[in-house]
Amino acid sequence: MEYSPKRPEHKPHRDSAHASRTASSVYRLPEELLVSVFTILIESNPSSIGTLLFVSRYWHSVAATTASIWSKIHSRPRSLEEVEKDTKYIQTAVKNSSNLPLDVTIDLYNLEYKTSPADSYPNQSLAAVEDGQGDGADVLLFGLFKALVGDRRINVARLRSISLNNTHPGGIGVLTDEIAVKRFLSGLDCPTPLLESLSLHLPYVDHYFTGKESLQDLKALKHLIVDAGGHLGCINLIPETIQTLAFRLWSTTRVLSRFNRLRVLSIDNWPNAGVTYDADPELIFPLLKCLTWRLRYSPYLMSKRTGSLPQKIRAPSLTTLRLLDAEAITVVGGADVYHHVHTLDLLSPALKEIIDFIQLHLYKYTALVNLTVLPGNLDVVKDKIRALQGQVPTGLNSLYTIISDKNGVVVDESTELPSWRPAEDYIYKKDDTFIGQ
């Protein structure tokens, strides 16, 4: 008699009962554990909290009454319809977050819309926008920002961090008329006792801060990122409180020298306008730990000057130096003021300039411990360092490359790392075959 394995009997009632008990147990999780689950689920996308409200009455009750999971507000609309939905979400989040500090991200990077008649008149009045006349982009965005700020700016005092992105990938403004964004930023000209971090990614910054008192009340501000064109001096904040400064603005060394409490400084595309190198004294940053450069213009033109900004900076506590383009690698390599750093990041695909730096300047960095390059340059750099034999800093024992950012976006030779993003935003790989001297 041929053997065949016996198939298990089907017991629908038992299986259904087991599934019901499993689901029921999930719905009856202790409140503390459920809050932890909610926190993990919405960490990358806080606006997704809305879907949790419809799982069960218990989940709805816990989610709606837990203020901490509403205090991080993210809006990344892709259409004007999503702008309207996010406006309602922000109104709910502000209400449910009770009196907790608010961390806000408004990202209009992916916003797409068809222009309406209201968008065809760049000179439409601010009163018309505020009254909500029409359905143009500025009217809808004004509603979103107003939900965040609140009537009579009641919510501004609760803002702890703001990240606002209003640029397309090419750096062009998203909106034909930026009344709503300007109105939002002008709304910060009132007491903001909790605001510690302000990150602005805009096409141009000057016309947002035209008043003499612009941002004067940001007395708690510690971290300022201005990824925009314009003039640094037009933002009349209190520089002595700033610990992190990243910008790509026109400025002068006199303006920059006022930020004397900096721990992190990132300069992208320091231009000719308004800079008088010869007359300016050294810039002293006694607390500076990390310095990032992107210069974007010809080293030949730099050599024509009797002085240059990289050579003016004095930072005795500096530990990390990050160079993001060929010009920065060439110019900073010739400056004899950074040889005490422990970590050096040569994060440009410009292999020739990196090789020149290694052969001409690396031996001067006597305190160097860590060196980082992009993946495409790793093998060549490793070979060049080994070929130097006795000319490598004796403390150099770790060679790294960047694999991706923390969102999983792969970094390769075509990647231009944003100067304002900190090193901690990336995933690194140590080259185990590299042996320091």
Condensed to tens digits (0 to 9), the pLDDT of residues 379-405 reads 999 999 989 878 889 899 899 999 999
Question: Of 287 and 407, which is predicted with more confidence?
Answer: 287
| Segment 216-234 mean pLDDT | 84
- Backbone phi, then psi, for 30, in 5-degree steps? -55, 145
For position 62, what pLDDT does the model report? 83
Q: In this predicted structure, what is the pLDDT of residue 30?
A: 82
Please say if the pLDDT value at position 277 is more than 80. no
pLDDT mean over 230-253: 83
pLDDT of residue 121: 44
Cβ proximity of 196 and 160 under 8 Å? yes
Cα end-to-end distance, the chain, whole Å:
76
> 199 pairs with which residues across the strands?
163, 225
Q: What is the pLDDT of residues 26-70, one digit of tens each?
A: 666 787 788 887 888 777 777 778 777 777 888 888 888 888 889
Q: Which of 100, 41, 107, 120 is nearest to 74 (CA)?
A: 107
Q: For residue 295, which amino acid is it?
A: L
Question: Which of helix, strand or coil describes residue 424?
Answer: helix
Portion of the chain with pLDDT greater than 70, in percent = 78
> What's the mean pLDDT when you consider all of the chain?
81
Nearest by Cα to 251 from 281, 274, 224, 278: 274
pLDDT of 178 strictly over 60: yes
* Tokens 């419809």 -> residue: 54
Nearest CA among 149, 168, 166, 171 for reference residue 158: 149
Q: At what angle do helices 80-96 and 137-149 cross, to 10 degrees?
A: 10
Task: Label residue 256 by pLDDT band (50, 70, 90).
Answer: confident
pLDDT band of residue 196 (cuts 50, 70, 90) is very high
Q: How confident is the model at residue 118 (pLDDT cuts 50, 70, 90)?
A: very low
Question: Quick one: pLDDT at residue 171?
Answer: 46
Mean pLDDT over 129-156 rounds to: 78
Kindly indicate the confidence band of residue 298, based on its pLDDT and cuts at 50, 70 and 90. Answer: low
Q: What is the largest CA-CA distance in the chain?
A: 104
Cα distance between residue 391 and residue 394, in whole Å: 9
Under DSSP, the state recorded for 173 is B
Please tell me the predicted confidence (pLDDT) of residue 382.
93
Model confidence over 162-175: pLDDT tens digits? 999 988 654 444 44
The C-alpha atoms of residue 212 and residue 234 are separated, in whole angstroms, by 9
Q: Please give the distance of CA 10 from its chain centroid, rounded to a whole number.
A: 56
Q: How far is the C-alpha of 293 from the C-alpha of 419, rounded, in Å?
A: 7
pLDDT of residue 206: 79
Whole-number pLDDT of residue 170: 47
Mean pLDDT of 363-377: 95
Q: Are 198 and 224 in contact (CB under 8 A)?
A: yes
In this predicted structure, the answer to whether residue 210 has a pLDDT above a threshold of 80 is no
Q: What is the mean pLDDT of residues 267-280?
A: 59
Assign 208 a pLDDT band (cuts: 50, 70, 90). Answer: confident
Both tokens of 273, joined, read: 């306008």
Q: Which two three-digit tokens encode residue 68?
A: 């901490």
Residue 285 pLDDT > 80, yes or no? Answer: yes
The pLDDT of residue 232 is above 90: no
- Candidates 415, 430, 295; CA nearest to 349 is 415
The residue type found at 265 is L
| Residues 127-146, mean pLDDT to the nearest whole number | 70
pLDDT at 115 over 70: no
pLDDT of residue 349: 94
Q: How confident is the model at residue 225 (pLDDT cuts 50, 70, 90)?
A: very high
Question: How far, CA to CA in Å, does 384 sit from each of 58, 404, 437?
Answer: 63, 25, 13
Q: Higher model confidence: residue 289 or residue 111?
A: 289
Q: How confident is the model at residue 159 (pLDDT cuts 50, 70, 90)?
A: very high
What is the residue type of 272?
Answer: N
| Mean local confidence (pLDDT), 208-216 | 62
> For residue 295, how far is the Cα from the chain centroid?
19
11 has pLDDT over 70? no
pLDDT band at 184 (very low <50, low <70, confident <90, very high): confident
By the 10 Å C-beta count (0-12 exposed, 13-18 middle, 19+ buried), 303 is classed as exposed
Query: Could you report the per-residue pLDDT of 314-364, keeping only the tens digit for each?
Result: 999 999 999 999 999 998 998 889 999 999 999 999 999 999 999 999 999
Judge whether residue 213 has pLDDT over 60: no
Burial (CB count within 10 angstroms: exposed 0-12, middle 13-18, buried 19+), residue 106: buried
Q: Residue 425 to residues 13, 153, 405, 409, 434: CA-CA distances in angstroms?
A: 51, 33, 6, 11, 24
